[in-house]
Amino acid sequence: MTYNEATTYLFNSAPLFQNIGAGAYKEGLSNTNALDSRYGHPHRCYRTIHVGGTNGKGSVSHTLAAILQCAGYKVGLYTSPHLADFRERIRVNGQMIPEQRVIDFVTEEKAFFEPLHPSFFELATALAFLYFKEENVDVAVIEVGLGGRLDCTNIISPDLSIITNISKDHVQFLGDTPTQIAKEKAGIIKPETPVVIGETNNNFEVRNVFITKSKEVDTSIKFADEESEILHSITQPQGGRKYQTKNWGVFKGELGGDCQEKNTATILCAVQTLIEQGYNIKEKHVHEGIAKVCSLTGLMGRWQRLENEPLAICDTGHNIGGMQYIVGQLASTPHERLHFVIGMVNDKDIDSVLGILPKDAEYYFTQASVQRALAAESLAIKAGKVGLKGVVITDVKEAYRKARQNATKDDLIFVGGSTFVVADLLKTDF
């Protein structure tokens, strides 16, 4: 069996959420517990940090992993979804799991897991936890897949739980109000395990959900947005951000998106909590990890600069919470005309996102190569109702090429609206 055959088997035999959405979602932990028992509860062999939330959990997870690597720890990192290669989900010190290990997992274990009819994510999680044990990691940073309470990563007993923020996403599973979503996310808060909340957007009811849960399980809670750790941050012309902080000095971050100020505040609060638990992390490790997160962990798609003339940016932000930051940053980025390549999936709050997008941009309506993708024609019709005008080009790569063809060197090109649009784009040779 080749690597492509192994991943094709996983994608086709177990439903892949990024392709079909709701049909791939399995509520409950019975399969997860069966797989965990099969492999001897591997997650108990190393320390873990659990990262949930609606937006920013990928950036926070990767950056924490980078900081821990710089501090000398051997670090496992489990995130989702992947952009170009399944192996992006499972890394040790930034290196993806070998293709052969994926092949072996499928060939050796499919007879066991086939009768369970597990989801793709359940299998990926089981493989990640097992691989981290095999690699003898010191600590693994584990990103929640969806929600928290019933997510299959929620079998771990972490040193720290982190919830970045709450925004509307996956409402068919998690509820359609911030309070309902917060209750699902709060499911990762565990007894006597410190929790850091990134931001509550001044929503008292959301804040109260987390406080109530932490009291129920007798654990401490910190709200990073109340610490006021970051005094100032600004995007740098050459990319990235510069930060001035109360307790961690002045440093540069490799990630340049405006949303990273909130994420970095969450990270610094989390690091301080880890230090209080005995982790040996110094200021220099924090500075280096934040400055080199992409090169250390392979993170892609976060306000990522593709080209310079014209400036072209892609970002995986795809819901109303993430897109608000993107729209603001596009407005503050100098340019003559904005060329916006956009595609979305059909289970998002599409109308809310379209409603905040700039009316004066030139749009290229496209669709990602996943079953969940909203047809580009349908997206164009919805966009037209709120005054957004453009052309329909169903292939993401062709849409980007058309935007480049139409843009002058002083224009700005943005590609986003869906993680999977960015994934299709990043498979392109520029």
Residue 370 has pLDDT above 50, yes or no: yes
What's the pLDDT at 154? 96
Shared-domain flag, residues 290 and 366:
no
Confidence of residue 413 (pLDDT cuts 50, 70, 90): very high
Shared-domain flag, residues 279 and 310:
no
- Express as a percent the part of the chain with pLDDT over 70: 94
Shared-domain flag, residues 274 and 353:
no
**Arithmetic mean of pLDDT over the chain:** 92
How many CB atoms neighbour CB 396 within 10 A?
28
Average pLDDT over residues 344-372: 93
Shared-domain flag, residues 278 and 326:
no
Centroid of chain to Cα 175: 20
Residue 27 has pLDDT above 90, yes or no: no
Shared-domain flag, residues 264 and 310:
no
CATH number at residue 418: 3.90.190.20
Shared-domain flag, residues 372 and 290:
no
User: What's the domain count of the chain?
Assistant: 2
What's the pLDDT at 174? 57
Q: What is the pLDDT of residues 141-181, one digit of tens each?
A: 999 998 898 999 999 999 999 999 997 654 444 556 889 99
Shared-domain flag, residues 47 and 184:
yes
Q: What is the pLDDT of residues 92-107, one digit of tens each?
A: 999 999 999 999 999 9
Shared-domain flag, residues 375 and 226:
no
Shared-domain flag, residues 133 and 176:
yes
Q: Considering 267, 297, 327, which residue would you say is the last residue of a domain?
A: 297
Shared-domain flag, residues 293 and 324:
no
Shared-domain flag, residues 350 and 281:
no
What's the one-letter identity of residue 42?
Answer: P
Lookup: tokens for 74:
């051997």
Confidence of residue 28 (pLDDT cuts 50, 70, 90): low
Expressed as residue numbers, the domain containing 36 is 3-297
CATH number at residue 235: 3.40.1190.10
Q: Considering 297, 318, 345, which residue would you say is the last residue of a domain?
A: 297
**CB-based burial label for 55 (10 Å; 0-12, 13-18, 19+):** buried
What's the pLDDT at 293? 98
Residue 20 has pLDDT above 70, yes or no: no
* CA-wise closest residue to 401 among 370, 372, 424, 373: 424
